[in-house]
């Protein structure tokens, strides 16, 4: 089992999940749409959200951070 | 939960009083019954089952094996080579299990009633289904 601390632009949540779960499954359970977000797992950008946490290099029994942040556009010149 | 050492195999097992089938039943019908929450409703401890993927952490236990005789959920783990005495083995396992044990004991007390409720409700639902 792993612990995942999730942060989006509007919310923070801590959930437990199996190592064989995927970021997309976690986002789905929490009704989070990551499609417009930059998603990072323990600081590393991830693009394939259907990979399992184990495939993404997470060690079982650990606490991890999963961020889905929408970056605002910079000011126009 | 029962803890056993198998020094000749360099393994240890944690055997719960909860059956794997009950964990899977509650996962489907009442997953909250597999968790302990704090005052704000956040999960602070949970148990689950994932075949072959046993793990023990301060925030949860995943049982990865099943006792073939009793159906009890089990954790199977490896003892490190450095645990070369019975005392060191016991200390190693105690350090792994320590923080989780109290929570597991609580869930082992509450899960049977949750399983009974789900079983009753499920049987009633099945009994109410009629053929067209």
The DSSP code sequence of B102-114 is HHHHHHHHHHHHH
- pLDDT for A28-51, tens place per residue? 999 999 999 999 999 999 999 999
Q: Which of A1, A3, A61 sits opposite B48 (nearest CB)?
A: A1
Does A1 score more than 70 pLDDT?
yes
- pLDDT for B7-31, tens place per residue? 999 999 999 999 999 999 999 999 9
- pLDDT for B62-71, tens place per residue? 999 999 999 9
**Surface-to-core class of residue B29, CB atoms within 10 Å of its CB (0-12 exposed, 13-18 middle, 19+ buried):** middle
Q: Which residues of B touch A3 (CB under 8 A)?
A: 57, 59-60
Give the pLDDT band (50/70/90) at residue A61: very high
Residue B72 neighbours by CB under 8 Å, 6+ apart: B15, B16, B17, B18, B19, B20, B66
**Surface-to-core class of residue B116, CB atoms within 10 Å of its CB (0-12 exposed, 13-18 middle, 19+ buried):** exposed
Q: Which residues of A touch B55 (CB under 8 A)?
A: 1, 19, 60-61
- pLDDT for B116-131, tens place per residue? 999 999 999 999 999 9
**Quick one: average pLDDT of B86-111?**
93
HEC sequence for A20-63: CCCHHHHHHHCCCCCCCCEEEECCEECCCCCCCCCCCCCCCCCE
């Amino acid at each position: 089992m792993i612990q995942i601390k999730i942060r989006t632009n509007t919310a923070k949540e801590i959930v437990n999940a199996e190592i064989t779960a995927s970021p997309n499954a976690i986002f789905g359970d929490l009704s989070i749409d990551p499609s417009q977000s930059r998603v990072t797992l323990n600081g590393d950008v991830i693009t394939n959200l259907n990979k399992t946490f184990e495939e993404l290099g997470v060690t079982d029994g650990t606490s991890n951070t999963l961020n889905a942040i929408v970056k605002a556009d910079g000011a126009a010149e | 939960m029962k803890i056993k050492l198998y020094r000749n195999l360099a393994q240890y097992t944690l055997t719960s009083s909860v059956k794997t089938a009950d964990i899977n039943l509650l996962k489907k019908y009442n997953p909250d019954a597999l968790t302990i929450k704090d005052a704000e409703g956040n999960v602070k401890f949970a148990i689950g089952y994932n075949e072959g993927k046993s793990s023990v952490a301060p925030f949860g236990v995943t049982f990865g094996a099943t006792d073939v005789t009793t159906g009890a959920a089990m954790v199977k783990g490896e003892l490190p080579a450095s645990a070369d005495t019975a005392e060191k083995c016991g200390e190693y396992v105690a350090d792994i299990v320590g923080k989780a044990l109290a929570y597991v004991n609580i869930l082992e007390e509450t899960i049977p009633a949750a399983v009974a409720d789900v079983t009753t409700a499920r049987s009633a639902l099945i009994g109410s289904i009629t053929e067209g």
